[in-house]
Structure 1
Amino acid sequence: MNRDWLPIKTTPWTLGLILLALLLLIQITALPQRLDYWLYDRVITANPVQASDDVVLVTIDELSLNRLGRWPWPRNLHAELIAKLDQAGAETIVFDILFAEPSPDDDELAEQMHDHGNVILPAYLSPPTSQYLLSEQLPVGPLASAAAGLGHAHVELDSDGVARGLYLYNGLGERLWPSLSLAATGEGPQRAKTEDTPPYVNVRDQYRAVPLIGGAGSLPAYSFAQVLTHAPAPELFSGKTVFVGATAAGFGDILPTPFSGLSRPMSGVEFHANVFSAQARSLLIRPAPDWVSALLALATILVFALALPPMRPARTLLACATAVVALAGFYLFMLLVLRWWVPLASAMIVPFLAFPVSSGLRLAMTNRFLNRQLDDLARSPQVALPAPSGRHPTQLLEHLQALFQPTGWLLTEEGDILSRRNLCPADIPEDLTPGDWLHDSNRSWIQLLRGDTRYHLGLLLPNDLGREAIQRYLGRLHLEQTARANRNARPNENISARIERVRVATDRLNQMQQFIRRSFERMPDGIIVTDELGVIRFANGHIEEWFREPMPSLGGLPLVRLLEGHDPRETPPWHETVSDTLTLRQSRTVDLRIRDKDFLIHFAPFSLPDTDQQGIIANISDISELREQQRQHREAIDFISHDVRSPLVSQLALIEQLKRDPSHIEQSQLEQLGRLARRSYHLAEEFVQLARAEQLTETRFYECEFLAIVENARDSVSEQAVEKQIQLQLQGTEDLWLRGNAELLERAVINLLTNAVQYSPGGSGVSIQVFRAGHQACLTIADEGSGIDPEELPYLFDRYRRQKSSELAGVHGTGLGLSFVKTVVEKHRGEISVSSTVGEGSAFTLKLPIADPLA
């Protein structure tokens, strides 16, 4: 089996390995990390958190520097600020200002810090100079002792230079300082997890991403100078945590954030205040381990490797888009709800890689398939009739004899006679061109070359009117071998050229396959296809069944011999019918009888497209059923003839009786004669009307008004109704236009009304209702007669069917009236129904389509 085009077994591994390799190559670049940062920034900026009500800033801004002088300020100003905030009720005061150098005012500041009791100071990890190792930069001794806690003020910058979070603990050696925000909650230093850590090694622990409130200036802030110069404000600072730090341009930390980037950086003190606010509301985001991202990427690759190969190409893009949406939803749920930052870039890259890679594999698979199909098509035999040029001359002579029944022939091989009759080698013309027929009167000659062997073939044709047609036909035959085109050329590697070659080859195959399968195999008739010499090349199953010839023996058998073997005839002979079909290119239709079954065989010439090859299609139809119908039709005619003849014979007998005694003609005799004459007329009229109805086509339709047709029919039977004192009651006033034949419709209504009057008791009534129901014009004729036996209802509209009860009651009919009505209604694409109750009457309903149903 060809495995080049079996994607379900090979593509999952191929697709999975390719996606894995591409993803590993992408990991070398900074693309996944940048994409993770971009996704995080978009989500955080689109969903800013609300600020805690317990956080406020006191900023060292440009106003404070202008009023209080250049930095550094005397530390008594900081002591004064603590006093002001203490009086205002501030719960915690966090300084983002490093007091690393001694000052004369340290005791005053330390005393004020001690009085407040909850002042947090920062600790920095940095080398004193570039020549020293990393060390802890702590506040001076008195201040460090007076502080309620120390916290590190370091903010982590990611690889793109943007601050998105910080480590909750950071320090050197074994002691780790909590962050300023964490120290403000009372957390103290903790030991490092790793023992025997050198004192110059920076140790960080518990990284947390910070969902910011917004850009710089989002938190409530008050100028340092204004707080000092104004009275304490408990409404602003009572019970709150106050962060004090620098925000003036060029002074203090500046941190790019997801909200601002480098355009509007955030001060360090405000960033720490955001950390405290998020921490107070348990909104800090925990980063997922690196193995989670790798696991998600591998799982995504596995899903696509298994799902895409058997999937339809049109659904691949939808599947990839759905996967991106699902991964994005998972990312948002983890980040915003569970507060986990899962790096999802690697997994989200997979769908964007899967679509082109899958499409490329499908294209490569299609390319291999096209190459293989082109090779197979080049090696496969051409679907065409065998050319006569490839046959041996002895076989050609045999086929020509069966086809044309020549009176003589001659076949020689290099001068040696292979077969002859009424011709001799001396009759061979000298100027023969290989492959071209030479006709001399009723003699036809050709020279054939088969390899290095030379053959001469001559035919002595019947000297009749068909001779010239046969000779013209022989001139169209290509009996000489020609060079074959190179069919082993490799296909062009250009995909468009290969597709075009496959399309052309497939079209040719489809034409022949459709020609054979649809026109032959699926037809209910028997089909025989012959070549140019009348030799059977194809026969369907009906031929094998009807002729009882096995299929292998039918192939290569001359059609003439098959027909002569099963239905021999002399006038006209089968060979003449077959040869005339080929030579004159005219269709022939002949009766055929096989094993007591009647057939009709139709011979039709054909030519294959784009070639000179031709042959015969013989269509054999089983007409045994049709002949049986003809027999039944003759019986029907005999039946009608008998019914017509009986009243005629009675009329003649009565006339002869009157002629013998013309002086004693009685009124009853004349009435009987009239009844017989009317019955004969009615029989003939109904038979003629039924024949007209059966031959009715829509070409004889025209616009007609249904109510007028019913009124005319009522008037036609009114005299008959008056004789029996039956009242015809017509109900209906709406004009209903139909497209049909008014004459036959009127006759159908007359038949129904006549039956209603005929089978109704005297003095009763017949109801005629004309109305519209939807898109149909309806007619209901109801009588008060004896009704119809339920056993006779299914056969009521059958031809020549008469009601037994009516015949016993003396009401004689032909059995054609209701059959005529049904035929007319069906020709108008309508329907007729009947409901009847024995002893109460019958109702016939006609429904005919309206010409313009929207009117």
Structure 2
Amino acid sequence: MNRDWLPIKTTPWTMGLALLALLLLIQASAFPRQLDLWLLDEALTTNPPPRSDDVVVIAIDELSLDRLGRWPWRRNIHAELTSKLRDAGAKTIVFDILFSEPSADDAELADAMRAHGNVILPIYLSPPTSNYLLSEQLPSAPLAAAAYALGHAHVELDDDGVARGLYLFNGLGTQLWPSLSLAANGEEPRTLKTPEAPTFVNVRDDYRIVPLSGGAGSLPTYSYVQILNQPPAPELFKDKTVFVGATAAGFGDILPTPFSGLSRPMSGVEFHANVFSADSQALLISQAPKWTASALILFTIICMSLALPRMRPARTLAACLAAVTVLLGIYLMALFAMRLWVPVANALAVPLLALPLSSGLRLAMTNRFLNRQLDELARSPQVTLPEPSRRHPTQLLEHFQALFQPQGWILEQGADLLSVKDMNASDTPENLSPGQWRHSSNQSWIRLVRGNASYTLGLTLPNDLSREAIQRYLNRLDLEGPETRHRVQKPSENISARIERVRIATERMNHMQQFIRRSFERMPDGIIVTDELGVIRFANGHIEEWFQEPMPSLGGLPLARLLEGHDPRETPPWHETVSDTLTLLQSRTVDLRVRNMDFLIHFAPFALPESNQHGIIANISDISELREQQRQHREAIDFISHDVRSPLVSQLALIEQLKRDPSHIEKAQLDQLGRLARRSYHLAEEFVQLARAEQLTETRFYECEFLAIVENARDSVSEQAAEKGIHLQLQGTEDLWLRGNAELLERAVINLLTNAVQYSPAGSAISIQVFPAGHQACLTIADEGSGIAPEELPHLFDRYRRQKSSELAGIHGTGLGLSFVKIVVEKHRGEITVASTPGEGSVFTLKLPVSDPIA
């Protein structure tokens, strides 16, 4: 066996020692510590704990300072607040206010504290001045004696200056004070069972991480002055622990937290209230012993060293990601289930370092493999399409002549004229840029550089609507010569150069395959290719669109099952058609109907490559439009055979009757003959108008004014309206210019007005409004007629469709008028809607785009 094909073998010792060395190297930076803190912040802020319902904050805010005066306040104010909270039923009151200096009002506050019986006061550990040693700053003697308990108010800031926790016990020497939150929960001071420490040494014990319930303001907070000035509120404070402290800006007692950072820091009193909330629910988080993180790192190194050398390269990334996922899972489980924080950044670095290390060891084998395969790939057949930039200008001119049939052309090489028709060399623009077209009206020019020769090519394009499209197409062509194109700098790195050579060779091999696939994808017909068992192996986008089947589900699906699921049939069944194509090797053409669309599917067998079996190429053509035209032709024939023949037969019969007795011709007979003739004329006229509308294209559009069109239409039906005493009210004074066919638009408006007059009672009014709306010109025609039944509205614009209620009322129409209106509106890229209430009338709304919406 050739060992060049074997994966590189690395011993666990090699991988383990390399990982350990890299891990020790990154310890010189602060990155692992920062990553640990970031992970902790993300975990706690993403899933914050619920706040306790037993904690409330009373804030010394800006409003309180404004109402009660500058700080410090007299302590009888705090005594009054304490009495209010006692009357309100507060269980515990925690003051985060230092009362270290004696005051004349201490006795009053002490009496209020004793009356309540459960007031907690803070102590601070700080030197009195910079020249003194650290000492305990206790409340004044009367207040300390009246307090139920004392607690320290110190919060720890991490290396990044963010407050995430505190020491539950803090003090000087062996006497440790509980934190304010623990004192509120009844915790007693702790005495260390260690040799007595100096009284100026700060001793801290039992650090806990505090999972905050949110940012600043997440706990129920009330303004100090508002509570002071209102009657006791048991509904707010009964049986609750109340934290009182400063939140106003400028007090300095502010703490950046994981929720806020420096943008919206949290006050100290709120932080202590969050500590109490978390402690009440046993949610405070302890730090794991230091050996835990070291053991986790060692375990991860061992696992990576044993697993990665034995894995395939494709699975290395998955293994490293799985290791990261497991470590994060352990981290989160310890954090939320065990309330234990284990620094995991160093352990996470192990799989992240193992991935490039393992990849680097395998890179040598890849390098040798590339060297062996390069020559073979370079000798592979090159199948590419010739680039337009490599074609000679004379050949390009021939192609342009065959493609666009230009009215004239000119091709020059320097001062020599190579080919010309109806163009002059004097017309050549100056300063043409190589490879860039310049268009002037219907003339297009370009300068081409081939080798050391310079060519100038000019075309005179047809001056019609296709000119702009052709010029856009020319701009997309890349005709720049290879020597003028920006050359890609070859990579100097050895491995990069080899990879580039492999990429170019592989691209040449796959170019024709991609070309064929894209050709199949862009074909106007749907294409399905099956294997020898009739199982779909390829389908282009039309199949996915028409059958509403996602492309992944088409691959591997039997063709017969796909067809049976969308167009079940018994004679002949689909499986028989598919099997006959494979077994008899004969082509089949069958009708297919999918989602109310008509198709023609042609089955053709083809020989599979490197096999003696055959597959099927199924070509599916959409013939829905053809079938719709056939349906319309049948409807037209049926309409002519009935509606057109009927008045003609009646006319012939009446004429024969008059011929038999010409001496007794009555006026009623002549009137009837005239009505029949007019009806035949109207039928013929509507057929002609409908045909004109269907053949309308934008080449017959011109600038026309919409209000004038509506006025002409109104004048055309004014006589018909006057006969019934109907008043036509036209509202609109603004000129609205459209690009369209005024004659057919006027005919469409006449049809709408004629219908309105025909279906309106005598003596009523028809409202006609012309107005702009955004980039559209709008027309509404509202009548007071009998209205249209709701079930007839969806079919109102169908061809040859008549309203049942109108036929019963004796109003006979052709069913072509509204169909003509809809076709004309759609040809002008507009829309028409109708709203109708039976017995109240109908409103037709027509919207057309204006010719210049920007102006």
Q: Same fold (TM over 0.5)?
A: no
TM-score range, shorter chain: 0.3 to 0.5
When Rg is computed on C-alpha atoms for both structures, the one with the higher figure is: 1
